[in-house]
Amino acid sequence: MAHEDAPSAIERLLGFEFVSDPRKARFPLPEIPKGHPKDMPFPYPAQEITPEMAEDILKYRVIRLERMPKRLKHDKMTSNRSFLMAALKGSRTNKGLIRTIQDNEWNPRIASPMVFTREGFLLDGQHRGAATFLAKKAIQVPVTVNGQWDTFSVTDTGRGRNAGQLLGDVPYAHYCAAAAKLILPAVFECETTHWQVADATNQEIYDLVHGWPFFHESGPKGQGGWMKEVVGASASRIPLTALAASTMMALAAGADPFHVQSFLDGLKPGYSGGFPDIGEKGKDPRFLLRRKYLRASNNAKSVTDVERRQQVGHVRRAMQIWLDYQGGFGLTELKNLPSVPENGRLPEVWRADAVREFHREKVS
Q: Of the residues 118, 138, 156, which one is the last residue of a structural domain?
A: 156
Q: Give me the pLDDT at residue 146, please.
A: 72
Selected residue with higher pLDDT from 43 and 285: 285
DSSP three-state, residue 148: coil
Beta strands in the chain (DSSP E): 46-49, 114-117, 122-124, 139-147, 218-219, 222-223
Structural domain includes residue 304: yes
In the chain, count of helices (H) and strands (E)?
15, 6
Looking at the structure, do residues 218 and 95 belong to the same domain, yes or no? no
Same domain, residue pair 254 and 351: yes
Residue 188 scores a pLDDT above 90 = yes
Answer yes or no: are the C-beta atoms of 278 and 333 closer than 8 Å: yes
Same domain, 151 and 200: no
At 205, the pLDDT band (50, 70, 90 cuts) reads: confident
Q: How confident is the model at residue 160 (pLDDT cuts 50, 70, 90)?
A: very low
Q: Which residues contact 91 (CB under 8 A, 6 or more apart)?
A: 213, 216, 217
Question: CA–CA separation, 66 vs 204, rounded Å?
Answer: 18
| Range(s) of the domain holding residue 120 | 9-156
Sequence letter at residue 192: T
* d(C-alpha 248, C-alpha 253), whole Å: 9
For the segment 313-319, the average pLDDT, to the nearest whole number, is 95
- What is the per-residue pLDDT across 265-293, written as a single tens digit (0 to 9) for each? 999 998 988 898 887 778 899 999 999 99
The DSSP code for 236 is G
Percent helix, strand, coil in the chain (nearest 5)?
45, 10, 45
- Classified as helix, coil or strand, 91 is strand
> Which of 156, 175, 205 represents a domain boundary (last residue)?
156
Residue 2: inside a domain, yes or no? no
Regarding whether 46 and 96 lie in a shared domain, the answer is: yes
Our count of domains for the chain comes to 2
Tell me: do 110 and 172 sit in the same domain.
no
Please indicate, yes or no, whether residues 275 and 313 belong to a single structural domain of this protein: yes
Same domain, yes or no: 310 and 281:
yes
